[in-house]
Structure 1
Amino acid sequence: MPAYLLPIAGIVLGLIIGSFLATLIVRWPEGRSVITGRSSCDHCGYQLRSRELIPVVSFLLQSGKCRQCGTKIAADHIAIEMAAALIGGLALFAAPGVQGLAGAVFGWLLLTLAALDVKHHWLPDRLTAILALSGLLASLLMVSSTFLDRLTGGLAGYAALAIVAAAYKYIRGRDGLGGGDPKMLGAIGCWLGWQALPLVILGASLVGILVAISWRLRGGNVTRESMLPLGSLMAVAAFPIWLYQTANAGLFF
């Protein structure tokens, strides 16, 4: 396949992957199987036909509603599909080939964890473990960081936030970070290397400030007790850093 067509293939693949991820994000927290059972309307149970499962297209043709009961389909479903398509296209644009496909997997895993954290404040250990292990394996394909850099990034990322969480609990007498956040940063470190960890935290902090400002502009009450999904914020910061590392072949970190 010509290199200029790979980003388009990444977009198409991302739409397909995104449809699966959107289903996983709905079913997994409810304890439902993601693999078995036909797709159905979450409201009336109507089993969807193949023509009603085309990513994005089916949503638009049905005006975002179930064809059977008319209930609106959750907008986050199409948002996940489109985000996964964007990730696939950008990854294969930055690195056409196997390296770009590996980066797309990184982005899709981050997307899934971010959505679960936003919706359920949950970062599943199994998914963060897959993120970490795939990052270490991907070091065989990447030019931006070595296996040792990534292993160090995994250990340092986990240790840094675990220490912060322990200190906060000791000082304030309550949890300030979720148990999955240190594991999430460690898993990201397994992809980006230890050198990128400060930028991940900085980027997550900046995104968090923007989220807090948007809450205030919409009339929300933002205090120091307000909960922000740190895992999601780190995920949003991490993928652009991977793109930068890949485009610059790791020249700076």
Structure 2
Amino acid sequence: MTHVEILATVPLALALIHLARIDIKQRILPDIITLPLVVAGLGLSLLDGPEAVITCAIGAAAGFAIFFVIGEVFFRLRGYEGLGLGDAKLFSAAGAWLGWAALPTVLLIASLGALGYIAATGWKSGRAIAFGPWLCFGFFVSWCLKLI
């Protein structure tokens, strides 16, 4: 853990809060925020050496690819979008900041948060839920765990 990583926590939190609010209201995760997060994560990995850069680059690529494939399969089976490219880019950003090995943790935290919300609010089957806020939550919790 470096001082730069600790200082990066505040802008990361602000970006993730902003993304969550936008996704709740508009059901989009804008590239103007998600793509710079990918670049910032990869840039931050430079501080930890070449191995970290490779781990984070693989994380960024894997994060995007996993969600892209899931979204594409869902679309082909159902005929409508269930997981958008914004989610894939946000998951890519998580991989860029945390490395590929943290992606299952991010996804687990996000999924459990979303399922808990659905259970607590009596969400009706068939209604869409914005997954971006939960990805933001999983991303940030995983980042904080990395700093401990």
TM, length-normalised to structure 1? 0.55
For the pair 1:230 / 2:136, whether they are aligned, the reply is no
Identity over aligned pairs, percent: 32
Q: Which residue of 1 aligns with 2:85?
A: 179
Q: How far apart are 1:213 and its partner, in Å?
A: 1.6
Higher helix proportion (structure 1 or 2): 2
For the pair 1:168 / 2:74, whether they are aligned, the reply is yes
Q: How far apart are 1:96 and its partner, in Å?
A: 7.7
Map of 1:1-253 to 2, 5 A cutoff?
97-142=3-48, 146-216=52-122, 221-223=123-125, 225-247=126-148
TM, length-normalised to structure 2? 0.91
Could you list the runs of 4 or more consecutive aligned residues of structure 1 that deviate by over 6 angstroms after TM superposition?
none
Q: Deviations over 1:57-82 (max 9, x none)?
A: xxxxxxxxxxxxxxxxxxxxxxxxxx
Unaligned runs of 5+ in 1: 1-94, 248-253
Aligned mates of 2:86, 2:5 — CA distance in 1: 27
Q: How far apart are 1:152 and its partner, in Å?
A: 0.5
Q: How far apart are 1:141 and its partner, in Å?
A: 3.4
Q: How many residues align?
A: 147
Aligned mates of 2:44, 2:64 — CA distance in 1: 19
Q: Structure 1 pair 142/118, CA: closer, same or farther in 2 (3 Å)?
A: farther
Unaligned runs of 5+ in 2: none
Higher relative contact order (CA 8 A, sep 6+): 2
Residue 46 of structure 2: SS of its match in structure 1?
A: coil
Aligned mates of 1:96, 1:156 — CA distance in 2: 25
Whether the 8 Å CA contact 1:204–1:236 is kept in 2: the answer is yes
Aligned mates of 1:229, 1:157 — CA distance in 2: 18
Aligned mates of 1:104, 1:96 — CA distance in 2: 14
Q: How far apart are 1:214 and its partner, in Å?
A: 2.2
Q: Structure 1 pair 96/190, CA: closer, same or farther in 2 (3 Å)?
A: closer
Whether the 8 Å CA contact 1:116–1:122 is kept in 2: the answer is yes
Aligned mates of 1:198, 1:175 — CA distance in 2: 23
Q: Deviations over 1:98-135 (max 9, x none)?
A: 22111222222111111111121121111101110111
| Cα RMSD for the two superposed structures | 1.7
